[in-house]
Amino acid sequence: MLRDFGGGPFGIYVHVPFCATRCGYCDFNTYTAGELGSSASPQSWLNALRGELAEAARVFGELPSAQPPVATVFVGGGTPSLLGGDGLARVLEAVRDNFTLATDAEVTTESNPESTSPGFFERLRAAGYTRVSLGMQSAAEHVLRVLDRTHTPGRAVAAAREARAAGFEHVNLDLIYGTPGERDGDLDASLDAVLAAGVDHVSAYSLIVEDGTALARKVRRGELPAPEEDVLAARYERIDARLAAAGLDWYEVSNWAAGDSARCRHNLGYWDGGDWLGAGPGAHSHLGGVRWWNVKHPARYAARVADGGLPVAGWEALTGEERHTERVMLTVRLRTGLPLPDLAPAERLAAERVVADGLAVIAADRLILTDRGRLLADAVVRDLLTAVD
């Protein structure tokens, strides 16, 4: 199944599937304690994670080329901070026991502000984490209620300050905009709070109503209005203007950073077509054009690891056309832009039309979105990929 490493940076993603409560908008592979019962626990998950990482290291060691050092580690979820500082230290220890980390490796964990503390951040720094991403979503209490978020307004900012005091140079705050009932003033208050926290990275995502979520059911029943495209566009422009004025520039359509060093290198690995191992229930991996994904339920995941081998639920070898499609979809969203030589002749003509429409510019033989083009990034991708000779 596996092909050789692709020659780019290699990262490891660890999926922590546990949450204290289920947010109404979330469709991630996560489970509350009540949903799991006695079938799985953080300890059984950690034991299985160690087994998966050991087996993956063994399999990778049989590939023709030498495995590159791990450039980035990202612990996501779910709510990794529910493991506590000691638990997250053990996660990183399990990675180090089986893989060689680069001397300048970026090591990130996501955290819910409510399950953090000054001591938590100090433990993470001592363990070797270099970056923290905190889920803030909004500073407005009524918006958090619609999202079913459990943290209190103000806690995310306090947590960001605690992380910086513990020695974290790189701290991210996540925002969600366009929630039903959110007003311009609510978004302004959220941006005020983000900027007051002094973080060097901000991610801002428009609310997406995912099928099968509690939020989708409320929208379908007419209890909440669906997000409006015009409102989402106006909110995005508001966010971009405020962050740019504060020295945080966009480097991917939904991400802003205070300089190159503040950019999330792990996510850039995804967007630039790098290789990564995804460990944990439901995690996805990519190596040399082959993608595979793990079984989702933590109990099944642990059982598959115990039986030996990798806990793979399925895999696919991407065709050249599929890899091209993904490269266009991802790279066009980056500030560095899409290399024009990567495009077929018909796609080059489509790119010229995109430029004529004011959605992009061409600089250094790359197609780079304009401010208006960022609002219509999906349409730009569609125009490029549907072009025919």
Residue matched to tokens 């806690």: 155
pLDDT at 314: 96
Q: Name the band, by pLDDT with cuts 50, 70 and 90, for residue 79.
A: very high
Q: Torsions phi, psi of 277, nearest 5?
A: -100, 125
* Angle value at C-alpha 49, between 53 and 45, nearest 5 degrees: 175
Q: Torsions phi, psi of 61, nearest 5?
A: -65, -15
Q: Is the pLDDT of residue 388 over 70?
A: no
Taking the whole predicted model, whether its pTM rises above 0.85 is answered as yes
Q: Which two tokens stand for residue 275?
A: 């290789």
pLDDT at 75: 98
Type of residue at 340: L
Q: Name the band, by pLDDT with cuts 50, 70 and 90, for residue 32.
A: confident
Q: At what angle do helices 42-60 and 84-98 cross, to 10 degrees?
A: 20
pLDDT at 1: 64
Residue of higher predicted confidence among 125 and 144: 125
* Angle value at C-alpha 133, between 299 and 179, nearest 5 degrees: 90
Residue 162 and residue 167: Cα distance in Å, rounded? Answer: 9
Do 289 and 282 touch, CB atoms closer than 8 A? no
Residues composing the chain: 389
Q: Name the band, by pLDDT with cuts 50, 70 and 90, for residue 287.
A: very high
Q: Is the pLDDT of residue 152 over 90?
A: no
pLDDT at 283: 98
Q: Name the band, by pLDDT with cuts 50, 70 and 90, for residue 389.
A: low
Which of 56, 68, 103 lies closest to 278, judged by CA?
A: 56
Q: Which two tokens stand for residue 118?
A: 């000054």
Cα 77 to chain centroid, rounded: 10
Distances (CA, A) of 33 to 30, 73, 78, 357, 386: 10, 26, 12, 51, 45
Average pLDDT on 352-378 reads 97
Q: Name the band, by pLDDT with cuts 50, 70 and 90, for residue 66.
A: confident
Distances (CA, A) of 53 to 12, 46, 75, 103, 133: 10, 10, 14, 20, 23
Residue 136 and residue 114: Cα distance in Å, rounded? Answer: 10
Q: Which of 29-38, 202-211, 242-251 has the highest mean pLDDT?
A: 242-251
